[in-house]
Structure 1
Amino acid sequence: MNNQNEPMLGKSKVSLMLVIVLLSVSCSKDELTEDTPIPDNGFVLQPQDATLYMVNPNATAETVALFYNLKTLSRTHFIVGQHNAFHDFYNNMAGDSDIKKTTGSDPGLLGSDFLFITDDLNDGTSSNWFYQQEQRIKSDAIEAYNKGMVNAFSWHLREPYEGVSFYTSEMTDFQKSNAFISILPGGENHEYYKQKLEKVAEVAKSMVGADGKLVPFIFRPFHEFDGDWFWWGKSYCTPQQFISLWQFSVQYLRDILNVNNILFAFSPDNSFDSSIEYLERYPGDSYVDILGMDNYGDLNNQGQTGVNNANKKLQIISNLAIEKVKIAALTETGYFITPGTNNPIPNFYSINLYNAITANNTEIGYMMFWYNTETTYCTPAPGLPDTADFIAFANKPKTVLQNELPTMYTLPN
């Protein structure tokens, strides 16, 4: 049943602003070396130069276009996304995504996860639940691509000893102390980890859109690594160990397995207050396409102070992305509303969140809400107390949903 309150969002704002950006001042650049900083002095990335700033210089044409178009779009707009938008709904009201039920348009980005796909119990048979999830997730990603949307995959990888948990609260002290170290090159579980990367590569190479092209996607492994709740967190590996594993993972996927349709996203939580802190575990410009941040805490009913703190951190990654010619993103966020228990914050979407993302001229390519459940939501369905606030957010000048996305998979002439 779709009782939809659907004010269509036909603003035509993106195309106009992208034309302005493309016509704005540009500059030639000298030959670049790894980690060469580019100041924000009027530099505008040119389509033919996109691969110079990407992890994979052999990326497919569609993946190069995605990088370029996200970078260009970020100068004036940000894409609104949601994790599992096609399959998780508030009150289990299946059908259109909850964002589409509310606004008339799907989100511009679909979040997915390799969790079930790389599970030890996925045996590749049609009757296997994990394999069925693999097929469903791939189908969703292909549908999103066919709609012109962006795809972003997280990876809640289970620890390698028992293959059961990714939360340290569910692990033994031995597992917490050894899981990450064990998958490094030379570690006892390194071959196991390589098999998981091979599964990622298999899926990457199997997602083909209606146009016959491989589906590009953003890959965001080892997210929120500055916390301790995941086994890849800061208490369980040194900065150099984290950097070494990240670099190995990129090299294995790109150079050994020849996967050419991935953009790599680096994504701590919100515990940094400076670029030095943000870059403590940064593996280098040759290994990262997207500078991200997950941030729930600053927006968890912290008022204007929280909004300011969130914006300050987005300024840090925005400035780094401008300097390094990368894409900045708010890779996960949301305020979890359970009616009667945790109620909506007035103007959360249209003022708090929007201002956190856009104040001080930040250049953020996209943001992603976490998924809705039967009893809790991050984005309201129709008829809820904050539905109008979300519609107002969706109609803000810089927000972009699916129905107003520019062409993301073709470079301009």
Structure 2
Amino acid sequence: MKKFLLSVLLVNFILVSCSKDEDFLEDPETNSEPPVAEQSDVRFLPSEANSYMVDPSATPETVALFYNLKALSYNNYIVGQQDALSSFYQNNSGMSDMKKLTGSDPGLLGSDFMFITDDENNEQPNNWFYQQEQLIKSKTIEAYDKGMVNIFCWHLREPFEGEVFYTSEMTATQKQNAFKSILPGGENHEYYKQKLQKVASFAKSLTGSDGNAIPIIFRPFHEFDMDFFWWGAAYSTPEEFKELWRFTVEYLRDDLSVTNMLYTFSPDNSYTTKTAYLERYPGDAYVDVVGMDNYGDVAAQNGSLIARANQKLKVVSDLAEERNKIAAFTETGYFVSASGTELASDFYSNNLYKVLTDQDINLGFMMFWQNYSDSYTVPVPGAKGADDFMLFTKKEKTILLNDMPDVYDLPQDNT
């Protein structure tokens, strides 16, 4: 099973090394000055930001990131992509695919703890998983040094055999017991703690060229409202899910002294109301970012589900405002392949932009999923949708790295 899985992962997730890009290309149609959010938009002062965070003792750069993402959300959203610096359409490595097209890297880099915490990662130089860990680390540092934001998901393998994370590849017994087994007191709870220790060790090892700890946004148990992952809602009660979330945060923060993390709650798109969204919410003391993953509602190229997708993001945006959190569209995209995938001529500049902005939504960031060798969510020059994606990047609220302020510098309180 694992040998088959690795063959798939090698195609879809393998990370390759590349050198740093040249200086950013100038585009006369982009903003010449980075956006600045008025502090009056935010309901708390910069000096008060840490009191609204999961970790009030977080590093200064992590506090700055929290405040600046919140402040930016009132006028802009940062555009990111999973594995943007290491996964490329048609394996055309080098600069990010987004930079190939627009002249700018994305403002946010998505990564995964999957290989880092794999059972077969023995931390030896000749070990394939450890080599992937080192490549992920180098890309995280590179992104931070460029001024990008780093966010990590975690495709954690089930704890019985440590091979898969999709329930379609698990036995009935594994599906029904995997999540419960890692709860405090469960048979695999110590195993789960060991995985968190690895996450903590990696996070604490991240240092930028400025000598500071690199902040990362961590979104465990993503898309938990669905049933295709073993941490999905079908396999635990809401109270069990909340218990494990709180344990995860407390163990990383209090026992393992991780001080450079923001924590993100990101279901898929099954909800339509605040009540449904909050069914498994562990509490404001355990969440910094509220988000949503949504592929299904953006897939219809006639735009028929755009209003529905926008309404779900409106729920997220409203909750973030009420609770002094950051709102985000944590995963989305429409996969285009050379085999003739239909793509609306205005998918990015109209359909997706409406999802992100209608009803005065305020988002700190949105993230496209990664480009693969045979398909893409972000087009490259000459690919279908390239011109429309350029129009999307020039929209009023859209910002890439070239247009970002320093998100790691906490502004002074306005008096």
AA at the equivalent of 2:216: F
Q: Is the 8 A contact 1:92 1:374 kept in 2?
A: yes
CA positional deviation for 1:156: 0.2
AA at the equivalent of 2:120: L
Q: Is the 8 A contact 2:333 2:368 kept in 1?
A: yes
CA positional deviation for 1:15: 3.8
AA at the equivalent of 1:11: T
For residues 54 and 126 of structure 2, the distance between their equivalents in structure 1, rounded to whole angstroms, comes to: 37
Q: Do the aligned partners of residues 241 and 14 (structure 1) sit closer, same or farther apart at CA in structure 2, a change above 3 Å counting?
A: farther
AA at the equivalent of 1:196: K
Q: Is the 8 A contact 2:369 2:377 kept in 1?
A: yes
Partner of 1:293: 292
Partner of 2:97: 98
Which SS does the other structure have where 1:303 is aligned? Answer: coil
Q: Is the 8 A contact 2:43 2:324 kept in 1?
A: no
Partner of 1:11: 30
Which SS does the other structure have where 1:265 is aligned? Answer: strand
1:188-337 aligned within 5 A: 188-301=187-300, 303-337=302-336
For residues 16 and 131 of structure 1, the distance between their equivalents in structure 2, rounded to whole angstroms, comes to: 39
Q: Is the 8 A contact 1:9 1:105 kept in 2?
A: no
For residues 134 and 9 of structure 1, the distance between their equivalents in structure 2, rounded to whole angstroms, comes to: 38
Identity within the alignment, %: 57
Partner of 1:358: 357
Q: Is the 8 A contact 2:83 2:111 kept in 1?
A: yes
Q: Is the 8 A contact 1:9 1:103 kept in 2?
A: no
CA positional deviation for 1:13: 7.1
Q: Does residue 344 of structure 1 match 2:343?
A: yes
For residues 383 and 244 of structure 2, the distance between their equivalents in structure 1, rounded to whole angstroms, comes to: 44
Partner of 1:173: 172
Which range moved further: 232-241 or 335-344? 335-344
Q: Does residue 398 of structure 1 match 2:401?
A: no
Partner of 2:131: 132
For residues 385 and 277 of structure 2, the distance between their equivalents in structure 1, rounded to whole angstroms, comes to: 33
For residues 293 and 56 of structure 2, the distance between their equivalents in structure 1, rounded to whole angstroms, comes to: 27
CA positional deviation for 1:16: 4.8
CA positional deviation for 1:106: 0.3
Which SS does the other structure have where 2:262 is aligned? Answer: strand
For residues 142 and 87 of structure 2, the distance between their equivalents in structure 1, rounded to whole angstroms, comes to: 16
Partner of 2:17: none
Which SS does the other structure have where 1:305 is aligned? Answer: coil
Deviation digits for residues 88-123 of structure 1 (CA, Å, limit 9, x no counterpart): 111110100000000000000000000000000000
Q: Is the 8 A contact 2:301 2:343 kept in 1?
A: no
Partner of 1:411: 410
For residues 384 and 196 of structure 2, the distance between their equivalents in structure 1, rounded to whole angstroms, comes to: 44
For residues 338 and 137 of structure 1, the distance between their equivalents in structure 2, rounded to whole angstroms, comes to: 26
Aligned residues: 391
Q: Do the aligned partners of residues 373 and 9 (structure 1) sit closer, same or farther apart at CA in structure 2, a change above 3 Å counting?
A: farther
AA at the equivalent of 1:319: D
CA positional deviation for 1:342: 1.6
For residues 322 and 33 of structure 2, the distance between their equivalents in structure 1, rounded to whole angstroms, comes to: 24
AA at the equivalent of 2:100: K
Q: Is the 8 A contact 1:9 1:104 kept in 2?
A: no
Which SS does the other structure have where 1:202 is aligned? Answer: helix
CA positional deviation for 1:384: 1.3
Which SS does the other structure have where 1:166 is aligned? Answer: coil
CA positional deviation for 1:219: 0.2
Q: Do the aligned partners of residues 268 and 9 (structure 1) sit closer, same or farther apart at CA in structure 2, a change above 3 Å counting?
A: farther
Report the RMSD for the aligned CA atoms in angstroms. Answer: 1.7
Deviation digits for residues 33-60 of structure 1 (CA, Å, limit 9, x no counterpart): xxxxxxxxx6533101101110000100
CA positional deviation for 1:301: 1.6
AA at the equivalent of 1:178: N
Q: Do the aligned partners of residues 124 and 109 (structure 1) sit closer, same or farther apart at CA in structure 2, a change above 3 Å counting?
A: same
Which range moved further: 65-74 or 295-304? 295-304
For residues 157 and 224 of structure 2, the distance between their equivalents in structure 1, rounded to whole angstroms, comes to: 14
In structure 2, runs of 5+ residues without a counterpart are 1-20
AA at the equivalent of 1:100: K
Partner of 1:184: 183
Q: Is the 8 A contact 2:301 2:344 kept in 1?
A: no
Q: Is the 8 A contact 1:50 1:68 kept in 2?
A: yes
Q: Is the 8 A contact 1:267 1:292 kept in 2?
A: yes
CA positional deviation for 1:302: 5.2
Which SS does the other structure have where 1:279 is aligned? Answer: helix
Which SS does the other structure have where 2:179 is aligned? Answer: helix
Which SS does the other structure have where 2:280 is aligned? Answer: coil
CA positional deviation for 1:281: 0.1
CA positional deviation for 1:11: 3.4
Which SS does the other structure have where 1:158 is aligned? Answer: coil
AA at the equivalent of 1:260: T
Which SS does the other structure have where 1:231 is aligned? Answer: coil
